[in-house]
Each structure stands twice: as C-alpha cells, then as structure tokens.
Chain A
C-alpha cells in the first residue's frame, strides 16, 4: 500500500463523476489511476446477495499488483493514453443540486444514481433495463469466478459453458477491452446494450489467448434490486408465479407471454401513496385473490422485454399509475384496475422536484 498515494472520498461534491463512473449502489469502490487521471483499473462491485461477494484481501492484492504493473508500463510509454470522458459533476444534476448541494448536504455515492434516475424519470427518459438494473449478475450467464484469484473461472455453467468456457480459464478482455479485475469486468458488462444477444470475451487458457462468444439468454440483465434501497420502480400489491408453458397452452394463452398466477396479496411496504385512500386499497386487495391468473396488462399479453408480469409492470408503468389487468378470476375472464405505489421517501422526493 505504501507504493500508492492513498485517498478516501466520502462525499461526491465536486468529484468528476463522468470520469469516476460506477454503479453508485456500491458502498465501497476503488480506482487505481495516475496523476494524469488515467484509470488503470477498478476494484469493487457486488452482487445482489452480498456487498462483499467479490471483495477480499487476495483479489485486492492482485489488483494492487496489476495497478503497479500498469503504472510501470505507462511510465515506459507502453500503455496507450485513454481519452478522458466528458466531465460531469454532481452539481449538474438539477434535483440533486437543489435538494442536497444547495442545502449544504453531503452528496453520498448512492444519491448520484438515485437522482439521475429521478431526473430521467421526470423527463420521461428513464431507460429502465439499464438504469434500474445497472449491474447484471455474471452468474446468470454461468460465469462463477474463483474470487481470490481475480478473473479465474471456478466453474462455467449455462451460456458460458456452452460458449466453451472452462474451469481455470482467466478472462482477460471484454468486448476487446482489457479487464484486470472483477470491477472492470462488471463495469463493462453493465454497459452492454440490453438488447444485445452476445458478448465477446477473451480468455487465457494455460497461456493461450482464446476468444469466446457467449450467447446471452433472455433477460440476462435482470437482478434482484431489493438491496438498492431507493428505486423509481412501481410497487405492487401482489406477487405472482409465472405459469408453465403447458399451463399456458391449456388456457390458450401465448407460450412466451407473461401469464402468471397470483400467489399473495401484499400490503404496502411502508407508507405508500395509496395510504391516503385505504378503502380503495382494501377494495382492490379484495378483488384480486390468490389463484387468479393475470393474462394481460393494458391488453398486452407478451413482450420482448420480459416474460415476468411483475417485471413487465415495473418496466413499463410509472409508480402510482393505475393499471388495467386482464384476469381469469374464478376461471372467468375479468378486467380490473389496480393501483401501483411508490415508496414514501421516493414519492416525497419526486414531489419536491415537480
């Protein structure tokens, strides 16, 4: 560590977030860079299960060594200079400036992501698959890393195995760009177009460089977002279980559609926007009951976005919107209106921004 200048930033005020771009819902995130602001690598990143899945001393040591190697190459003129991204400061995010910076509040990392999403939502420009799910889980495509060894594969499954990835392979490039750490890999994976069908990797297998083209499964970018304690997504009063293909066929519903059985009716998580009208909420909860089959949302039965009805609503509706559900209620077709809601703190912040 003594070979580095160490710096710890706990407030993002005045930081060029265009240069230091990362998923802001990481409580800890590291960069190794030089005085010319050339970033050599990132160290950090997480999955939905745990904030420290990919952080440990061994992989940190590997990252530090890789950073020193890169620095040596840079000093020898053997490392191409990367163009600097356009500067972008927290002060340029209007609601963040108005609600926090102008009130002399400390700008914490997560606020950047939250306010950017808010600003985009208010402008009708929220790219939900990218902004609500910024860090897809590599395990979804079968990439299980031997974490203490950095980017060495412990086990390849699913799409990764199908592409030829094997235990012991080491990922060295993503889309033609060098990746030195899990942080590098997750960052580049997160930037992948959500409509992409493949990603291109390069691996090192026993000293031999080998390209691998991994076919992405449907909804490869979906992750559990519950650890992101602020979200712009609409909250629902029910949970569902997708019907099997056989069940859908039996009901003459599209096999690739999002027909789902209602599993549970759930009260709002915390104070909600419907709290002002509890009788209406109760009424809605009484109409929809476990066992009902949701066959469509606003007349739509299938979508290229997702085959999950709850996710479809979260991806297409605004929190607080009233939605029309097509149901099989006691086996008979029926249409009902359902409200969605926004968690209280989000509602309050958005109303302040209007």
Chain B
C-alpha cells in the first residue's frame, strides 16, 4: 500500500500528539523525575570513555582529574 500526502499529515499529527502526551505525563510525575527527565539524566550520567591517550592527557590537564587508563587486548 502506498502512503498518500494525507496519510503523512495524519502520521505527523499523531507523532506530535504522542510527544505532547509524554511531555505532559513527564511533567506530572509526582517525584518531578518523569520518564524523559530520567532518561536524560541517565544519558548525562553515562560514563564517557575516551579512546585516545593524548585526548585523555588534554582532558586531564583541563579538568585537573587523574586518568583511569584501561588497556584492553580485545575490543
């Protein structure tokens, strides 16, 4: 079945409604930590591993943090 322009418009409308609904329920979450907020925080808390030694040195100089350097034989 081929989708018509009307079908695309309907699909776009449904997507907007779905996003608004998620944002609404997120905002209404009793703890103030809705699904979206949690997902965003989880993403920001995810540890970032550099894969370049010189970049790690540069980052360490910039932040003053020591480096935890892992050598892994198999990727």
Main secondary structure of the interface of B (DSSP, over half): mixed
CA distance A339 to B53 in the complex (A): 46
Which residues of B30-75 have CB atoms within 8 Å of chain A's CB atoms? 47-53, 55-57, 59-61, 63-75
CA distance A40 to B55 in the complex (A): 19
CA distance A30 to B63 in the complex (A): 20
Contact across chains for A5 and B51 when beta carbons are under 8 A apart: no
> Per-position contact with B for A1-38: 1 when CB-CB < 8 Å, else 0?
11111111110101100001010001111111111010
Contact residue range for chain B?
A: 20 to 34
CA distance A215 to B70 in the complex (A): 34
CA distance A64 to B65 in the complex (A): 12
Which residue on chain A has the smallest CB distance to residue B68? A4
Main secondary structure of the interface of A (DSSP, over half): mixed
**Contact of B70 (CB < 8 Å), options: A30, A40, A67, A110:** A30
Instruction: Given A5-B59, A35-B60, decide whether A10 and B68 contact each other with a Cβ distance below 8 A.
Output: no
Instruction: Given A6-B48, A15-B53, decide whether A67 and B68 contact each other with a Cβ distance below 8 A.
Output: yes
Contact across chains for B70 and A7 when beta carbons are under 8 A apart: yes
Q: Nearest chain A CB to B71's CB is how many angstroms away?
A: 5
Contact across chains for A30 and B67 when beta carbons are under 8 A apart: no
Q: Nearest chain B CB to A11's CB is how many angstroms away?
A: 8
On chain A, the residues within 8 Å of B70 by CB distance are: 6-9, 28-30
Q: What would 8 more interface pairs be, CB under 8 Å, given A2-B47, A7-B69?
A: A3-B65, A5-B63, A8-B69, A9-B71, A26-B73, A28-B71, A29-B70, A108-B73
Measured CB to CB, the residues of A under 8 A from B are 1-10, 12, 14-15, 20, 22, 26-35, 37, 40, 64, 67-68, 70-71, 75, 108-110
